[in-house]
Structure 1
Amino acid sequence: MDWYAGNGILEGNGGNLFAPGREITREEMVAVLYRFADFLDGLPKDADTVLNYPDSDSISGWAADAALYCQTTGVISGRTGGVFAPKETATRAEVATIVQRFIESVME
């Protein structure tokens, strides 16, 4: 946790608290992946500039660039109906799929 926080990948929940046992929302998850890709110099040069998810207006401002990154790279394709569902908890299956896609995207 210290390494991730020290390198700006994890930022905590405010007040320097990380709450490692708490579930993670989908927008929190993509923010971590986005910051990790940035740390690895793996952000795409030509990223989308407009979010295409039907519920993009419910994505927090601090997570918007991360959502654009995931949309551009295909790391997240959305849930049923193509929604991003930013405030919903990420399931284990989603995390596994998204992390696999993330690894493939930064390894290219």
Structure 2
Amino acid sequence: MGDFADAQTVANYAKKSLALCLKTGIISGTGNGYLSPKNNVTRAEVAIILEKLLQKSDLI
């Protein structure tokens, strides 16, 4: 998560899960060098996350 400018704002309880999501490509940040962990997630973002999870059946 060190590549993201706001990585230090990720809550401690979420760091391990977020790191796994980044490593597997489930989440890739906002595209501008930020994770924006305090922002709400849109329906479109949830749809993309679910699609990626379903494609990676070994994670389910």
- TM-score tier, shorter chain, comes to 0.7 to 0.9
- Deviation per CA, 1:45-101: give whole Å up to 9, x if none: xxxxxx132211000000000110111000011113131110100000000001111
How high is the TM-score relative to the length of structure 1?
0.49
**1:83 alignment counterpart:** 34
The answer as to 2:36 corresponding to 1:66 is: no
How high is the TM-score relative to the length of structure 2?
0.84
In structure 1, how many angstroms separate the alpha carbons of the residues matched to 2:22 and 2:12? 16
Q: Cα RMSD over matched residues? A: 1.2
In structure 2, how many angstroms separate the alpha carbons of the residues matched to 1:82 and 1:104? 25
Instruction: Spell out structure 1 runs of 4+ moving beyond 2 A.
Output: none
Q: Tell me how many residue pairs correspond in the alignment.
A: 57
Q: Which has the higher contact order (CA 8 A, sep 6+)?
A: 2
In structure 2, how many angstroms separate the alpha carbons of the residues matched to 1:59 and 1:81? 17
Unaligned runs of 5+ residues in structure 1 are 1-50
